[in-house]
Amino acid sequence: MARRNSPQCPDCESLDRRDFLTMAGSTALAAGALSFVPRAVYGAPSKTSAAESAVKRLYGSLSAEQKKVVALDWNDKRRFNISANWHVTKANVGSFSAEQQKIIDEIIRGVTSEDGYGRLQKQMKADHGGVANYSVAIFGDPEKDQFQFELTGRHLTLRADGDSVPGAAFGGPIVYGHGAKGNAKPMERSDGNLFWYQTKRANEVFEALDEKQRKKALLARAPRENAVELKEGSAALPGIPGSELTKDQLALVEKVLADILSPYRKEDVDEVMECVKAGGGFEKVHVAFYQQGDLDEDGVWDVWRLEGPTLCSHFRGAPHVHAYLNVARRT
């Protein structure tokens, strides 16, 4: 099950297993060892959701030879890797049978919205020649309690786990992006990046801030793009908190998150929103913009973050989009 080598992307970062485990707490993603609110309280996808049902069928269709490559142990270290440019296995989508490729397409449709499905198809085509060149893995056994499907490649990581990692939205941190130059000038037009609309929305928040608020929200240097671990306790967060924003400004922040989530299925979106609520709501979410990476030095901020007790989203639009999203709730 050979795959084509990924295009080189020297800016793409990678996390190791230790970094990944800190995303939602030191052991949360390993086996649900932290105490999470039971799934019945929030709208997480279940093992009978459309995508997860398709994962079960894909697993059942695998030959013995395919399983050697695709079927991995639940605790395989590759489940804990996160990068803007990597392949989880050597099994690319194009190497599967036509029927299996249809099932994989079902899974992708199942974890995305209608708009998101089309948008990510364009992204995969532009960045790596199409979905056929992205790779897949199934961790665990869909016939048992824990499993997770993962699709990875240049500027994309998708997961479907039926809440096998309870409390962690999407089953763990995800990645999206696009290799086209990240942002356009002026703000009224787009240069073709599929996620420009998100930066446009984020800059609406900045434009709505008064001078004092801008000084608090605008910082010189950004953290690493993949530094999206959830902070413990009372750890200081960058930028301006939602509690210092007006009702109208806070509504704009909510729209930013809505845009970030718009490519994904409703079940995952609902779980994210429940996580934000569990972390104290948008009043606890900080918004930060960074002078570093300002394309054309025009004051349209191309690097920005949303960060709260249960949410961390880092968007880097310079020179092209790398975006990481990590959401989890704990009691």
pLDDT in tens, 248-297: 999 999 999 999 999 999 999 999 999 999 999 999 999 999 999 998 88
Whole-model pTM? 0.88
pLDDT at site 222: 97
DSSP label of 322: E
pLDDT bucket at 25, cuts 50 / 70 / 90: very low
Q: Are 229 and 326 in contact (CB under 8 A)?
A: yes
pLDDT bucket at 15, cuts 50 / 70 / 90: low
- What's the whole-number mean pLDDT along residues 182-199? 68
Per-residue model confidence as pLDDT tens digits over 127-157: 999 999 999 999 999 998 899 999 999 999 9
Per-residue model confidence as pLDDT tens digits over 71-122: 999 999 999 999 999 999 999 999 999 999 999 999 999 999 999 999 999 9
Angle at the Cα of 130 from the Cα atoms of 263 and 293, rounded to 5 degrees:
60
Compute the distance between CA of residue 64 and CA of residue 119 in angstroms, rounded to an integer: 34
Domain locations in the chain as residue ranges: 14-177, 178-327
Q: Are 301 and 206 in contact (CB under 8 A)?
A: yes
Q: Are 12 and 87 in contact (CB under 8 A)?
A: no
pLDDT at site 134: 98
Helix ranges (H only) for the chain are 17-21, 28-31, 50-61, 64-70, 98-110, 114-128, 196-208, 211-217, 247-261, 266-278
Q: Are 91 and 70 in contact (CB under 8 A)?
A: yes
- What 3-state DSSP class applies to 70? helix
For 303, phi then psi, to 5°, come to -125, 125
pLDDT at site 239: 98
Q: Please, what is the average pLDDT of the chain?
A: 88
pLDDT at 230 over 80: yes
pLDDT at 53 over 80: yes
How many CB atoms are closer than 10 A to CB 122?
A: 14
